[in-house]
Structure 1
């Protein structure tokens, strides 16, 4: 009798046209879970059709150096990452890469999908000559900070504020993000 050990069918691949619907669903649900309290009604106000159009364009005709990757469990898209080049500020140094987005469907978190996406993104950025990885983390996103810290990234004291909607009194809601980075 031969015993077979069951193996998981997990992978990371370049996004293809049609993946944008899953990407938007994952992005919205992940944001709702991670940032719902911080962003308030801004998540509910998102235009899903516009988001699908933007992701479809990013997948089908990305600007130079931009890429979208998806993590799959079998044939199901369960996460995604988006990367772009960051031009070197010093002409003698290699460019960096920017992790624009990395989200995993909350139902599939803790399964290694985020780590596989990050590793694939770093591999592609290295192939393009990048020597560092940059990304932004919202204040209070301890899960993302812990994940990135475990992957070797850390904050560099650069902070930015972004508008994230309008409060009931008419003032603009802002959120703070800290830049994280690592040499790759």
Structure 2
């Protein structure tokens, strides 16, 4: 087995991050997103967004590799109020101690090899290093694999649900939360 690692994203990682997002969404989200949305994903446009995030975004982007292959990525940073407020807009008492996992994707063909766990552990460590103690993540409510992944890390559903417009189709997401001292099992 080739060596697996995680490192903060560099500008030369951007094209691979965009490729992973497009390929993973097209493979894993066919039941969640309309076909025209998936077909319309523009890798070059997505790369521009990630370029800005890596250069000056509020999140830190991490990249997972196995040997010479880039196999996944994660973006994490302090949680904006909109990510942690309750249904009435009220913030939790620990709002200034909460980070968000904005995205965590591993190409399906590289799944079940520990890359997701390494990415989450590295992101959690980075969030702890800036003084945060709890994290949140929003996951499509029908994405059983991702929900189970976060639950194995000790995170729990907190009862919050939101509905996004996914190309004219509603996409319901649930929020999970947990301590940043992970217990990956």
Q: Same fold (TM over 0.5)?
A: yes
For the Cα contact (< 8 Å) 1:96–1:132, is it kept in 2? yes
TM-score normalized by the length of structure 1: 0.86
Number of the residue aligned with 2:110: 108
Paired residues in the alignment total 170
For the Cα contact (< 8 Å) 1:153–1:181, is it kept in 2? yes
For the Cα contact (< 8 Å) 1:94–1:129, is it kept in 2? no
- Counting only pairs closer than 5 Å after superposition, residues 28-107 of structure 1 correspond to structure 2 as 28-41=22-35, 42-63=37-58, 66-86=59-79, 89=91, 94-107=96-109
Structure 1 distance, partners of 2:95, 2:78, is 13
Number of the residue aligned with 1:4: none
Stretch deviating more after TM superposition (94-103 or 84-93): 84-93
The structure-2 alpha-carbon separation of the partners of 1:179 and 1:48, relative to structure 1 and needing over 3 Å to count, comes to same
Q: RMSD of the TM alignment (CA)?
A: 1.7
Number of the residue aligned with 1:147: 149
For the Cα contact (< 8 Å) 1:24–1:52, is it kept in 2? yes
Stretch deviating more after TM superposition (135-144 or 79-88): 79-88
Segments of structure 2 that go 5 or more residues without pairing to the other structure are 82-90, 181-185
1:25 CA displacement: 1.3
Structure 1 distance, partners of 2:172, 2:72, is 24
For the Cα contact (< 8 Å) 1:10–1:74, is it kept in 2? yes
1:114 CA displacement: 0.4
Number of the residue aligned with 1:3: none
Structure 2 distance, partners of 1:137, 1:57, is 24
1:127 CA displacement: 0.7
Stretch deviating more after TM superposition (80-89 or 49-58): 80-89
Number of the residue aligned with 2:11: 17
The structure-2 alpha-carbon separation of the partners of 1:148 and 1:91, relative to structure 1 and needing over 3 Å to count, comes to closer
1:87 CA displacement: 5.7
For the Cα contact (< 8 Å) 2:21–2:105, is it kept in 1? yes
TM-score normalized by the length of structure 2: 0.85
129, 132, 156: which one aligns with 2:131 = 129
Segments of structure 1 that go 5 or more residues without pairing to the other structure are 1-6, 166-171
Structure 2 distance, partners of 1:92, 1:46, is 37
160, 170, 174: which one aligns with 1:174 = 170
Larger radius of gyration: 1
